[in-house]
Each structure stands twice: as structure tokens, then as C-alpha cells.
Amino acid sequence: MKLLDTLKRLEISGESVFAIDKDERIVFWSRACEQLLRFRARDVLGRRCHEILAGRDVHGNIHCYPNCAIQYQTRCLPEEPVRELRLAVRSGSGQMIDIDLNSFVLGDQVEKIVVHVIREASSNAIPLDASVRERMTRARNDRDDMIEELTTREREVLQHLALGLSTARIAESLGISPVTVRNHIQKVLEKLGVHTKMAAVAYAYRTGMVPGEESEVAS
């Protein structure tokens, strides 16, 4: 499946990535997810994500349930991309751990999957109370403006990143040096207000800069 090939390329980033299909069943579980959440891929594939994670918000309210808000928002409201969430989820060891979660969609109406990128919550992250959500909304609007500030070359580098190409392959494709590519990547991260290449790739998919259903990942 082309989409799963794309996910495997995204896994190169080393971040924790998992994906679910239209029935909310897990179809991809990266090695980093195994390490972070202590669930083996073979034990979660084919199961519904809420059964595995049993996530709760920062106030202890149940957040993971059938047809949850994230599923509805990602699939039915593409103009309202999901903002980063702080959740407490169950790990394979039975303990609850705090994670930060970003979600976006790959694919078309026929073949569509929701991709979740997670990382262990940083100790200095701000809880998602009402006032913080307001600030995040303003930051998101600012970030939407920032995408317009990317130069043509920076957009090209971001699009190549989203296709899973390495720094060397991007340099070869664009006819520039690897050092220049790394400089462009750093500028992209700064302008988008993100800290990792995976987060920048997620943004590229969410904004349509790289249509998931048409992405062809090079080897």
C-alpha cells in the first residue's frame, strides 16, 4: 500500500508514529512507538486505538473513545487541523504516561488514514487549559501566515522532506550542497515554529503542500 510505504519513510525520522484506518484500527506502529509506549506492533495492529491507549486529558477526562473528536475533526473538518494535545495514555507496562500528540491525514476519500505523531511530554510544556488553548489558536494563525514567508527554495526542501528523502538526496535533486540543505531545513523549522523535521512534514501534509494521496516516496 502506497500510504504505508510513505509511513515507513516517515519512520526514518526516529519519532514515534502510528496510524489508523477509517474503522479506527491501527494499521501502522513504528519501532519508536514500541519503545515509547511499550506495546509491540504485533500486539496492537488491527486493534482499535482507543482500546490500546485509553487516553485521558490533563483534567483526567476520558479522551479516547469510538469515533473520538480527533477522528471527526481530521476526517470531516479538514479546514480545522488538530492542534497539539497533551494526553495521559496507557503503556504496555500498565502505567499511564504523558505524551504530546499531533495528528494529520494522509490519502484520499477511498484510502484515508489518520497519522498520529507522539512524543513523551516535556516537563516544561504548558497544560492545555482554556487560556493556553486561546494562545495556541493565536499561534496557529500566526503559523499559517508564516507558511507564506517560506522562500521558493525552502518550500522545495520541505516538499522533498515530506517525500522521505535524505539530506544527500535532496541536495542531489536540487543541485545544492548538503550544508545548504541543512541551512534551509533550519530556516523552515524556525519559520513554522516547530522543532523537528517530522513536525514540519506533518505541517506540509496538513496544509496540502504535499497531497498524501499523490505522494510517491523515493527509495
pLDDT tens for each residue of 79-129: 777 778 899 999 999 899 999 988 888 876 567 888 898 888 875 544 433
42 and 112 fall within a common domain:
yes
54 and 22 fall within a common domain:
yes
The boundaries of the domain holding residue 211 are 129-219
Indicate whether 175 pLDDT > 90.
yes
pTM over 0.75: no
**Residue 38's pLDDT band (boundaries 50, 70, 90)?**
very high
Provide the mean pLDDT of the chain: 78
37 and 82 fall within a common domain:
yes
Indicate whether 23 pLDDT > 50.
yes
Q: CA 109: distance to chain centroid?
A: 19
Residue among 119, 215, 121, 115 at smallest CA distance from 159: 215
- Total count of domains within the chain: 2
121 and 76 fall within a common domain:
yes
Of the three residues 97, 125, 153, the one that is the final residue of a domain is: 125
Residues 6+ apart with CB under 8 A from 195: 189
HSE of 123 in the Cβ direction (CA atoms, 13 Å)?
0
Residue 207 is predicted with a pLDDT of 67
